[in-house]
Amino acid sequence: MADRGAGWAAAFFASVARFLVIAITTYLGLLVVTFFIGRVIPIDPVLAVLGDRAPASVVERTRREMGLDLPLIEQFYIYLKGTLAGDFGRSVLTTNPVMDDIRRFFPATVELATLGTLIGSVVGIPLGVLAAVKRGSAADQIVRVIGLIGYSVPIFWLGLLSLVLFYAKLQWAAFPGRVDIAYEYSFRPVTGFFLLDSAVQGQWDVFRDVVRHILLPASLLGYLSMAYISRMTRSFMLNELAQEYIVAARAKGASETRIIWGHALRNAAVPMVTVIALSYAGLLEGSVLTETVFSWPGIGLYITNSLQNADMNAVLGGTVVIGSVFIAINLFADLLYRLLDPRTKAQ
């Protein structure tokens, strides 16, 4: 028993080490790609700072101060060292250090993506189970069509349509933004997560207003997440329902409820961890259009505005942060999968 436990621990840590090597390599690849994108795009970072009418002497001096006259390998070393230290330079648009801007805007994206993932999971998993259990039925077809629409229809179109319906026509949703202007000076967020801050401070009027603002964009992202999660849940459940242990459970007289929810879904829940983690990471990095449509002051809108103003420090800094979070979520999901899946303990 001790030898088996030691062998499993060695295999587990070896797999973790391999994944860490992959994660570090991926992160370095991300830095290389973002660095060279910043150098090949037809935007001069010096002119973005000084403007088109700056004297040539000032342009050259600024270029030297920014290190843009150095060889590319030296520029990349400086970029790598600054990135690892969390220094992405200053934003041309806000004049603040890029990392300070990211700390201010990123909580809004995390809050929106978290609520969207919760909605997608709570709705998508039961729908996927229903579609698998009722395979080939009308319920299965309806769930698949709902998921297909979520995959096919552009999110910005859904966002504009939902604003027209729920804000302009029905007036159920609040005006685009994160909180009403009436609370901008009376409400002082601490963590940047408005739902948490308003609840902890006992400002329930602000909490209700934040809910009214976040519900529509979070539901839209939740719909996209639900389409993916329901489809994968259906696939995993169909695979589990075809296993021999399900046949044995039915032969022993176990109820269908216990077979579906106690056996099949329990085993399908292990790979679903990775699916939900990937869905969450996808919402974090893919909420640019949603934040733009709903004027949501998150990292996606920050990157969009920075790109439109040729603020490449902010664009590259935001891209690196989002990519780093994506890698970290994948690492966490992989480790959690290995801890939850009993089959990895036997390897």
pLDDT tens figures, 166-198: 888 888 888 788 888 888 778 888 888 999 989
In a domain, 9, yes or no: no
Report the domain count for the chain: 1
Most confident by average pLDDT, 38-52, 188-202, 319-333:
188-202
First to last CA, the chain: 14
In a domain, 33, yes or no: no
Provide the Cα torsion 71, 72, 74, 77; round to 10°: 180
For residues 279 and 286, give the distance between their C-alpha atoms in angstroms, rounded to a whole number.
10
Average pLDDT, rounded, for the chain: 83
For residues 318 and 301, give the distance between their C-alpha atoms in angstroms, rounded to a whole number.
10
In a domain, 63, yes or no: no
In a domain, 70, yes or no: no
Residues 68 and 75 sit within 8 Å (Cβ to Cβ): yes
> Using one digit for the tens of pLDDT, what is the confidence trace for 273-285?
888 988 888 888 7
In a domain, 38, yes or no: no
Domain assignment of residue 301, given as a range: 95-346
Could you tell me the CATH number of the domain that includes residue 294?
Answer: 1.10.3720.10
Most confident by average pLDDT, 53-62, 71-80, 142-151:
142-151
Contacts of 104 (CB under 8 A, 6+ apart): 192
The percent of residues in the chain predicted with pLDDT above 90, rounded, is 17
In a domain, 46, yes or no: no
Q: What is the pTM of this model?
A: 0.82
In a domain, 202, yes or no: yes
Q: Exposed (0-12), middle (13-18) or buried (19+): which is 6, by Cβ within 10 Å?
A: exposed
**What count of other Cβ atoms lies within 10 Å of the Cβ of residue 102?**
24
Q: How many Cα neighbours within 13 Å face the side chain of 40?
A: 6
In a domain, 256, yes or no: yes
DSSP code, position 275 = H
Q: What distances in angstroms separate CA 303 from CA 41, 68, 269, 317, one per listed residue?
A: 16, 23, 35, 9
